[in-house]
Amino acid sequence: MPVLLLDLDVPMTSHPSRSTPVADPAASAARPDQVLCLGPADLAVAARRGILTPGQGEALWRYGVQRGLVRAAAAGAEAEAAALPPSARSPRFGLTQVLYYFGGMLAIGAMTLFMSLTWDAAGAWGITVLAALYLVGALAVARHFKRGGLAVPAGILTTLAVCLVPLIVWGVQMGLGLWPPGAMGKRFGEYHRFIDGRWLTLELATLAAGVVMLWLYRLPFMVMPLAVTLWYMSMDVGNLLMGGQGFDWTLSRNITLVFGLATLAMAMWVDVRTRRAREPDWRQDYAFWLYLFGAIMAWCGLSLMNSDSEWGKLGYALINAALVLLGAAIGRRVFTVLGALGVAGYLGYLSWHVFKGALLFPIALTLIGLGVMALGVWWQRHEAALQARLARWVPEGLRPR
């Protein structure tokens, strides 16, 4: 990985067109014992923490490239970098991104959630042909956008293409008369509303086609529909195991927990692989959506388990406390948020059952609330140091980016 070398002991001079101080490259080479090494990720972190603005970080990196201050961090690493890689840049979410995602979500919703009777009038083969044309067109425009450096709209369009796969598979099955009989499934809009084991054919096809398209286009947002599909599968598998008859709450809860843990294991594997990848396209954060949906599935499955044992409830609280630390250690806030919710729920249980009916109940509840707030303030002040310490206990491939 390339790094930017800055000499900390040499007087800084200002660039003629900028106020940001920079170091003399000759002095940097003369005093290697006092050189500060900053990689693209370091500049992105500094921008997120307000030390630099995103524009200053990128300008500093480009200046280093132009002046020859970029060096390889290890033998065999690429020493040339013209700008910050997309995965390391500080995110900018302005009006342009809002328009991109709003328009993209409208298109995706129109082809998935809001399928109407008008589409049903086209028939199974008509829907299949129209969806296939949409898919091919979306991929063609996405390829054009990606070549032009417009990664966000390209990612949204490829995501739309992935979302069209189950519609195409459903249309083909209906057209060939292969769709299993039943009360549901006669309209595609039911796919996003009802749990049914017959949807598994659509979900497996979506996963397979999505992986292929992800390999071809390499845009992280494409993982989102795959993660959603895994979530759907966690519900439909339970229905299939019940023979398509009824709904078993306990079985569905346990399957959701298993699917969540499996999705998290997949997310960690993807996270490690992408960080070790040599190609810039593969070093992007493909694990985000897997972490998000995997953590939600696992946490919901765990939280819905009823236990009459106080030790079981305490164990639940300890697991959630561990999630808070895990989120800080690997830089995934979804674990921290869910863990904090779990701990808060346990504290609420204690305050309601231990102190309910007692004169100290309002005082205890107030103290618990203030204590949680104080913990949040303390955590915010020491977040960077705590993350650095906790990161030492996790494998290098899972440490915060």
Query: What's the predicted TM-score (pTM) here?
Result: 0.71
**pLDDT tens digits along 274-291:** 888 888 888 889 999 999
Measured in degrees and rounded to the nearest 5, phi and psi for residue 209 equal -65, -35
First to last CA, the chain: 13
Number of domains the chain contains: 1
Coil vs helix vs strand at 231: helix
Q: Say if CB 260 and CB 230 are below 8 A apart.
A: no
Is 282 among the domain residues?
no
Output Rg (C-alpha) for the chain, integer angstroms.
26
Q: Tokens in use for 341?
A: 């919710």
> Is 342 within 8 Å of 317 (Cβ atoms)?
yes
220: in domain: no
258: tokens are 């298993």
Which residue stretches of the chain have pLDDT < 50? 8-32, 74-91
Residue 120: per-residue pLDDT: 65
CB atoms within 10 A of CB 34: 13
Predicted confidence at residue 50, as pLDDT, reads: 64
pLDDT of residue 115: 66
**What pLDDT does residue 297 have?**
95
Tell me which amino acid residue 78 is. E
DSSP characters for 135-192?
Answer: HHHHHHHHHHHHHTT-HHHHHHHHHHHHHHHHHHHHHHHHHHT-SPPSSS-SSGGGGG
Residue 333 lies in a domain: no
Could you tell me the sign of the dihedral formed by the alpha carbons of 215, 205, 295, 221, in that order? positive
3-state class (DSSP) for residue 5:
strand
- Environment class of residue 126 by beta-carbon count within 10 Å: exposed (0-12), middle (13-18) or buried (19+)? middle
User: What would the DSSP string read from start to end of 313-382?
Assistant: HHHHHHHHHHHHHHHHHHT-HHHHHHHHHHHHHHHHHHHHHHSTTSTTHHHHHHHHHHHHHHHHHHHHHH
In-domain check, residue 59: yes
Tell me what pLDDT residue 55 has: 67
What one-character DSSP code corresponds to residue 22? Answer: E
User: Rounded to an integer, what distance in angstroms lies between the CA atom of residue 345 and that of residue 305?
Assistant: 14
Whether residue 195 is contained in a domain is answered as no
Q: What is the pLDDT of residue 85?
A: 42
Helix (H, G, I), strand (E, B) or coil at 77: coil
Integer CA distances (angstroms), 265 to 182, 258, 259, in order: 35, 11, 10
Contact 69, 36 (CB under 8 A): no
- How far lies 211's CA from each of 19, 214, 217, 218, in Å? 46, 5, 10, 10
Q: Is residue 31 part of a domain?
A: yes
Pairing status of strand 2-7 against strand 21-22: unpaired
Say if 7 falls within a structural domain. yes
Is the sign of the CA dihedral 15, 17, 21, 25 positive or negative? Answer: negative
Phi, psi of 19 (to 5 degrees): -95, -5
| 48 is a domain residue | yes
Question: Which residue from 37, 33, 31, 92 is spatially nearest to 64, judged by alpha carbons?
Answer: 37
The three-class DSSP label of residue 246 is: coil
The whole domain housing 23 covers: 2-88
Query: What was the pLDDT predicted at 20?
Result: 41
